[in-house]
A = this chain, B = another copy of it.
Amino acid sequence: MRPSGRDLSAMRQISIEVGVTKYAEGSCLIKCGETHVLCTASVDEKVPPFLRNTGLGWVTAEYGMLPRATHTRMRREAKNGQSGRTQEIQRLIGRSLRAGVDRVALGERQIVVDCDVIQADGGTRCASVTGGWVALRLAVNSLMKAGDVISDPITDHVAAVSCGIYAGQSVLDLDYLEDSDAGTDANFVMTGQGGLIEVQGSAEGATFSRAQLDQLIDLAEAGVKELVSAQKVAVGA
């Protein structure tokens, strides 16, 4: 019934390859089916002005898409500035990752997580959160190994998945074709313990009911569990 042929509750194949760039303190290439995102985490010993001399750290994210990550080429944002959609997504990624970080333990430094979409087939913001966490985890590992950070500031896994109502049915992990046609599109960011960090549900055509929202959360909980398992394998935990 789904264009992808998957069961209603079936995730796409997940693959997380770490250490894909030579310079970043943490990095991975996450593939959720045909959606591929390169995530790097860069440690910066300087924090933004509003945190100077507070002893608190910061985690922020930036998001981009290569122009031909999509079916038809998009205009390059370096020439036109970041769209509202891009800004909205990178704010979500940063907020989500900070929810799993103890900023006192991190110390007064900043980690910038860059999520660049190499190929897009739906769910790029969710893949960015999930892969961004892996890059962040690895960067923090390197800080701890170097003795720059003593107590682990990472409090839990953070991962995200999209769900939606497609042809009247609640389905997990929408790809582009499904997403374009979904009546409701929802993104869920959760911790490894199952706590909710972000819930963003949007009716595209018809509204959705509380019962449907419940089904979507059920699916998301299962999906995030799989993602967290993949994160564990990737970071060797």
- Interface pair A66/B207, CB less than 8 Å apart: no
Binds B, one of A7-15, A48-56, A82-90, A227-235: A82-90
Task: Check A207/B202 contact, CB under 8 A, given A23-B119, A40-B68, A87-B87.
Answer: no
- Interface pair A114/B77, CB less than 8 Å apart: no
Q: Tell me, yes or no, whether A62 is within 8 Å of chain B by CB.
A: yes
Q: Tell me, yes or no, whether A59 is within 8 Å of chain B by CB.
A: no
- Interface pair B73/A84, CB less than 8 Å apart: no
CA of A31 to CA of B232 in the docked complex: distance in angstroms? 30
Interface string of A172-200 (1 = CB under 8 A from B): 00000000000000100011010111111
Q: Tell me, yes or no, whether A91 is within 8 Å of chain B by CB.
A: yes
Q: Which residues on B sit within 8 Å (CB–CB) of A85?
A: 91
A210 CB, nearest partner CB in chain B, Å: 6
A183 CB, nearest partner CB in chain B, Å: 11
CA of A209 to CA of B193 in the docked complex: distance in angstroms? 10
A203 CB, nearest partner CB in chain B, Å: 5
Task: Check A209/B195 contact, CB under 8 A, given A42-B68, A68-B114.
Answer: yes
Q: Which residues on B sit within 8 Å (CB–CB) of A40?
A: 66-68
Interface string of A86-100 (1 = CB under 8 A from B): 111011000100010
A32 CB, nearest partner CB in chain B, Å: 14
Task: Check A198/B191 contact, CB under 8 A, given A78-B82, A84-B91, A87-B88.
Answer: no
Task: Check A44/B73 contact, CB under 8 A, given A78-B64, A78-B82.
Answer: yes
Give the residue of B42, B88, B114, B197 whose beta carbon is less than 8 angstroms from that of A207. Answer: B197
CA of A81 to CA of B206 in the docked complex: distance in angstroms? 34
